[in-house]
Amino acid sequence: MTIIVTGGAGFIGSNFIFYMLKAHLDYRIVCLDKLTYAGNLSTLAPIMGKADFRFVRADICDREAVDGLFAEEKPDIVVNFAAESHVDRSIEDPGIFLQTNILGTQVLMDTCRKYGVKRFHQVSTDEVYGDLPLDRPDMLFTEETPIHTSSPYSASKAGADLLVMAYHRTYGLPATISRCSNNYGPYQFPEKLIPLMIANALNDKPLPVYGEGLNVRDWLYVEDHCRAIDLILRSGKVGEIYNIGGHNEMRNIDIVRLICKELGKPESLITHVTDRKGHDMRYAIDPTKIHTELGWLPEMRFEDGIKKTIRWYLDNRPWWEKIVTGEYQNYYRKMYGGR
């Protein structure tokens, strides 16, 4: 079994590769990644020389490069994690989001068709459903919830999802889609809420909470997400969409306070800054379908997962310090300076 994993040098993709190599000793994984600012080859260093792993630097939008790799590897399965993934960056500059997230997905699917790939899996997001009101805890996103996007990022992911379903219906592409809630865990790039707050707190820097910090996200430990995708690849039905989430809604401000507490840092570091434009209020996944049809349930409790994640950032300082001392500083100044 050969699986091409795109975006495998990023946060979830790298965790997925580690998970799959451990769970399936007979699988070969080929990682295709452009190594954008979010891709990090040092993450994959421990498996670089392994016989069942290959890394190829390429852009999913580069039709020739993708074709060449498929011709060589004849993959059974393609799992597409490659994306521009940060909402704030999409608000600053949407173009690359449309390019990679939509057109890159098209290139991958065209190539899957050409080489008769048995499964194309698109890693999507709960953000395609838009947001939910804070005062309606009974409302959750199901697979039937209409697409209703807020940011250029979520619009680009929704565009890709629609294209995947169109390729399935029109060309019979054996495709599946998963839409997951917010992930946390090791190797997450420190532009995202949890690692940003951990890194800033450890450096005694202000903790920039957007608005009042009352927005709610539904947090899932990254390994639970990886296990769900593995299950969909093995037992999911083609043409189907599966929501993934663990009923773990938390307000941003409570997460930041928890990080302060765990690190023994004062809450006076918390600084309320200008809100994100078009900021989604609440996400909440109904995972009934993947539970009843595939038997998936999250295994990591948030109380344990957040401690484990904080421990990882404490034990792996060189990994994120290398990032936050580089080009990231310009990004940080641009996004947070005078905010």
Question: Could you tell me whether strands 175-180 and 119-125 are parallel, antiparallel, or unpaired per DSSP bridges?
Answer: parallel
Segments of 260-319 assigned E as strands: 270-273
Q: What minimum distance in Å lies between the beta carbon of 248 and ligand NAD? A: 13
Residue 152 binding result from ligand DAU, ligand NAD, none, given CB thresholds of 5 to 8 Å by partner type = none
Residue 253 CA to its chain's centroid (Å): 22
HSE of 283, CA atoms in CB hemisphere, 13 A: 28
Q: Would you say how long the chain is, in residues? A: 339
Among the listed residues 182, 200, 215, 252, the single contact to ligand NAD using CB under 6 A? 182
Output 11 or 296, the one with its CB closest to ligand NAD: 11
252 sits near ligand NAD (criterion: CB under 6 A): no
Closest residue to ligand NAD, based on beta-carbon distance: 10
**232: three-class secondary structure by DSSP:** helix
SS3 for 167-186 is HHHHHCCCEEEEEECEEECC
Residues 295/230, Cβ–Cβ less than 8 Å: no
**Residues noted as catalytic:** 126-127, 153
**55: three-class secondary structure by DSSP:** strand
Q: What minimum distance in Å lies between the beta carbon of 15 and ligand NAD? A: 8
227 sits near ligand NAD (criterion: CB under 6 A): no
Q: What minimum distance in Å lies between the beta carbon of 16 and ligand NAD? A: 9
Output 68 or 272, the one with its CB closest to ligand NAD: 68
Q: Which of 76, 28, 34 is nearest to 51 (CA)?
A: 28
Question: Could you tell me whether strands 53-57 and 77-80 are parallel, antiparallel, or unpaired per DSSP bridges?
Answer: unpaired
Site pattern 143..172 for ligand NAD (x: CB under 6 A): --------------x---------------
Residue 81 binding result from ligand DAU, ligand NAD, none, given CB thresholds of 5 to 8 Å by partner type = ligand NAD
Return the structure tokens found at 232.
């969909």
83 sits near ligand NAD (criterion: CB under 6 A): yes
Scanning 45-53, 58-66, 70-78, 232-240 for contacts with ligand NAD by CB under 6 A, the matching segment is: 58-66
CA–CA–CA angle 254, 285, 187 (5° rounding) = 60
Output 103 or 273, the one with its CB closest to ligand NAD: 103
Q: Is 93 exposed, middle or buried (0-12, 13-18, 19+ CB in 10 A)?
A: exposed
Site pattern 106..125 for ligand NAD (x: CB under 6 A): -----------------x-x
Contacts of 333 (CB under 8 A, 6+ apart): none
Question: Could you tell me whether strands 216-221 and 249-251 are parallel, antiparallel, or unpaired per DSSP bridges?
Answer: antiparallel
Q: Provide the binding-site residues for ligand DAU, judged by CB under 6 A.
A: 85-87, 125-127, 181-182, 192-193, 196, 208-210, 213, 215, 217, 252, 276, 283
265 sits near ligand NAD (criterion: CB under 6 A): no
Using CB under 6 A as the criterion, which residues of the chain lie in contact with ligand NAD when the complex forms? 6-7, 9-13, 33-36, 38-39, 59-61, 81-85, 100, 104, 123, 125, 157, 180, 182-183, 189
